[in-house]
Amino acid sequence: MELDIVNENRRTVLIVDDEKPIVDILEYNLKKEGYNTLIANDGVEAVNIALEKRPNIILLDIMLPKMDGLTVCKKVRTALNIPIIMLTAKEEEIDKILGLELGADDYVTKPFSVRELMARIKANLRKYELSSQEMISNENDAKNNERKIIIGDLQLDLDKFEVKVRGKKVDLTVREFEVLRYLANQPGQVVSRELLLEKVWGYEYFGDIRTVDVTVRRIREKIENDTTDPKILVTKRGIGYYIAKPE
């Protein structure tokens, strides 16, 4: 592998794929956009590089030698809070990619548009950086001003980025928390999938609304007693989602 001069002020993207033509295209375009790049050609190498180098974002193929991308995602997610975009050849893989135990942030289906992928990378980085900045700011202000949203059984602590349902703490990813917070800020108001995609994911022109649906389903698995009859995060058929106001 050729050694590149790394600019520490640039954000670093870890590319994980065993297909050299795809790696070459991604590396070329990412460098052109001003990113540093790291390369891993198998799952084991990907985990090692991610934990050692701590990139800002990971592009992760599902089909990899030695360790598949889904397992890589799980291992990295337990140690690092960074955006992970999965690359898949099958659209049907979305449920696995954004599954309950996985915690990936987004996915792109091969063959993909480089322009679209660059937009996804920028949007995911922007959202994570804004969330991190807000978390730091909130920690500094928390002693004097706790901010909470309480709607029935649902409680969001915006300073600690914590969610409790019926008094029990629920572990959510950054994306899941942002979806819940956006909806909880306007209880009873139906929000369309398209608007959620724009406001939470940052996609104005690119994005699959199924990403919203799967993320909502993942949240429900964690906060609802019965996912077939949700009482907190409710669907308005054909329109979108809302947080139910207590009766």
Flag whether 135 is in a domain: no
Flag whether 63 is in a domain: yes
Residue type, position 2, single letter: E
Flag whether 4 is in a domain: no
Length of the chain: 247
* Confidence class for position 137, pLDDT limits 50, 70, 90: low
Clarify whether residues 24 and 90 are in a common domain: yes
CATH number, domain at 186? 1.10.10.10
Instruction: Look at residue 91 and tell me whether its pLDDT is greater than 60.
Output: yes
Mind listing the pLDDT tens digit for each residue in 162-192? 899 998 999 888 788 889 999 999 999 999 9
* Confidence class for position 10, pLDDT limits 50, 70, 90: confident
CATH number, domain at 61? 3.40.50.2300
pLDDT (0 to 100) of residue 144: 45
Clarify whether residues 160 and 83 are in a common domain: no
CA count, 13 A, side-chain hemisphere, 163: 24
Lowest mean pLDDT among 29-33, 35-39, 174-178, 221-225: 174-178
Clarify whether residues 111 and 181 are in a common domain: no
Flag whether 176 is in a domain: yes
For the chain, the average pLDDT equals 83
Reported in sequence order, the residue ranges of the chain that DSSP labels E, i.e. its strands, are: 12-16, 36-40, 57-61, 84-88, 106-109, 148-151, 154-157, 162-165, 168-170, 191-192, 233-236, 240-243
Flag whether 42 is in a domain: yes
Residue type, position 69, single letter: G
Residue type, position 191, single letter: V
Judge if the upstream peptide bond of residue 65 is cis by omega within 30 degrees of 0. no
Tally of domains within the chain? 2
* Confidence class for position 142, pLDDT limits 50, 70, 90: very low
pLDDT (0 to 100) of residue 214: 85
Clarify whether residues 121 and 37 are in a common domain: yes
* Confidence class for position 143, pLDDT limits 50, 70, 90: very low
Lowest mean pLDDT among 85-99, 115-129, 201-215: 85-99
| Mean pLDDT (whole number) for 78-105 | 72
Q: What percent of the chain has pLDDT over 90?
A: 42
Enclosing domain of residue 202: 145-243
